[in-house]
Chain A
Amino acid sequence: MNPLELTLGIMTAVGGFVDISELVFAAKAGSQFGYALIWVFALATVGIIVFSEMSGRVAAVAKQPVFNLMRHRLGLKLGLLTLAASVVSTLITCAAEIGGVALILNYLTGAPYMLMAIGMTGFFVASIWVLPFKWIERTYGLLGLFMIVFAAALVAIHPPWNQFARGFVPQIPNGLSTKELLTFGYFTVAIISAVMFPYEVYFYSSGGIEEQWGPKDMFTNRLTSIIGMGLGSMLAIAILANSAQLFGPANVDPEIPGSAALQAAIPFGKWGLILALLGMFFAVAGAAIETCMANAYSIAQFFGWMWGRHKKPWEAPRFTFTWLVLLLLSLAIVLTAVDVMVLVEFAVLCSILVLPLTYLPLLLLAGDKKYMGKHVNGPFATALGWLYFAVITAAAVAALPLFILTSGGNG
């Protein structure tokens, strides 16, 4: 792998990391709990790095993406159940991303929200149809790097860096009422879900197959997942910290996804706002395409169809129909005029419930010497994998009660 390709791959991972759910929950978490939830972002980021690296390694060595092997491990009935749950949760996530993009365009241009949702869905269809996989991934990922303005804004507002650093230490703030404690718990679960969305692993491992990774790409896989996702997560953490510094003390609750853009407007004025909105636009648009393709990958892989956007759309026709129908279904959800914030809340709730079923087969496969040979999980990866499996299982068990008790984090 040449250094330019590697750098581009890492930058793509950075720019493509943040999606609408992370934007929303980072801004809300900072406003309500200051720096106290930074550690959850850090914890979940290590989790997504562990599982992405594992899925990339399985793709490179076994030459099979996650869902192909998931059915083999879970069997037909449990596999079908996982597929159905995953398709529903990712479909809601895709609708939330389309709604988010339409909202951002509405802020940027003043054009009607519904019209923007329809227009952007048409644009996504054209993007996936015309561009091969690498172009799709790179274009949206690299343009998402406008999000760096949030990190620059954080530096510019001179936050109390010692408090920021203390946020990385696992903690529960003192003096919270029972209601606030439950909301803190809900935010913890929601952030884990938003950072570790199952679609990210489906997309990442399928991307490895699309780009024909082999054992020689193991270093690229490791570096892309660790550095790319690690730095990408720092952008989400910057949004949280900006929110803690700017919104919290002013009692501003960032109720709409666009609120986060104001964080860059405060230190940098109009151009800060425009760069932030552009960064959010490309990051969320990229996530809309990723969620749609991840869902189509899952279905095609489960039934053994031809798939991938390294093929022309007519060379994998059932896959093509699937992503087209999924995009239209997501648009249909948006056109019911359901609030984007409601979609985001349901997306994180449904996803956390699916997470354990997604990651268990992956963990078993990556630890299976028969498939993985010398690239099998070592003791460190195995320990981390099972630790995170315990974390997401606990989060999945707690998610529904916390969602009900806190009315989706709204107290």
Chain B
Amino acid sequence: MTPDSPIKLVSELLDLPLVDSEGSFCGIVDDVEFAGDGSELKLKALLVGPGAYEQRMPGWMFWLVRRIAGDRLLRVPMQMVRTIGAAVELECPGRDLGLHQSEAAAGRWIPRWGAM
């Protein structure tokens, strides 16, 4: 399925994993953003990060998520989406869209030795 095909948002797109052009996991489709005037809506971007949970869960649950994971939110423009199937495959490396920031931040604390 390509980004221009008609899709069922909830059953075919929401909560799918994102895989970048290098084959790395780089988030989940946490929500979507539309463009249009109401008569014709088009998918504009995929929203990634715990900040997107706000509209999808009760307030107390989001309060808890925000305390643990923060409320970071990133937009992945639909032009960057190659295919939609069992995962959403992107046209570019995740770092170009800022999707690997948290991994990189955590990676600074991990020593780089000793592993086969």
Residues from 379 to 399 in A contacting B, C-beta threshold 8 Å: none
- Taking a contact as CB atoms under 8 Å apart, the answer to whether B103 and A318 are in contact is yes
Q: From DSSP, what is the main secondary structure of chain A's interface residues?
A: helix
B78: Cβ under 8 A from any A Cβ? no
Residues of B within 8 A of A130 (CB): 114-116
B35: Cβ under 8 A from any A Cβ? no
Residues of B within 8 A of A300 (CB): 25
| Residue-wise interface mask of B (6-46) relative to A, using a CB-CB cutoff of 8 A (1 in contact, 0 not) | 00001000111110000011111010000000000000000
- Taking a contact as CB atoms under 8 Å apart, the answer to whether A76 and B86 are in contact is no
Residues of B within 8 A of A321 (CB): 106, 109-110
| Residue-wise interface mask of A (293-337) relative to B, using a CB-CB cutoff of 8 A (1 in contact, 0 not) | 000000011111111000011111110110000000000000000
Given A72-B16, A314-B110, CB of A77 within 8 Å of CB of B56: yes
A75 and B18 CA atoms in complex are apart in Å by: 16
Given A71-B15, A72-B15, A307-B25, CB of A313 within 8 Å of CB of B115: yes
A214: Cβ under 8 A from any B Cβ? no
Instruction: Closest A residue to B26 by CB, please name it.
Output: A304
Q: How many A-B residue pairs lie within 8 Å, measured between CB atoms?
A: 84
- Taking a contact as CB atoms under 8 Å apart, the answer to whether B17 and A68 are in contact is yes
B92: Cβ under 8 A from any A Cβ? no
- Taking a contact as CB atoms under 8 Å apart, the answer to whether B57 and A77 are in contact is yes
Given A71-B28, A77-B56, A304-B28, CB of A317 within 8 Å of CB of B86: no
Residues of B within 8 A of A68 (CB): 17, 87
- Taking a contact as CB atoms under 8 Å apart, the answer to whether B86 and A69 are in contact is yes
A80 and B87 CA atoms in complex are apart in Å by: 19
Instruction: Closest B residue to A73 by CB, please name it.
Output: B15
Residues of B within 8 A of A69 (CB): 86
- Taking a contact as CB atoms under 8 Å apart, the answer to whether B17 and A301 are in contact is yes
Question: Which residues in A have some Cβ–Cβ distance to B below 8 Å?
Answer: 62-64, 68-69, 71-72, 75-77, 79-80, 129-132, 135, 300-307, 312-318, 320-321, 371
Question: Which residues in B have some Cβ–Cβ distance to A below 8 Å?
Answer: 10, 14-18, 24-28, 30, 48, 53, 56-57, 61, 85-87, 102-103, 106-107, 109-112, 114-116
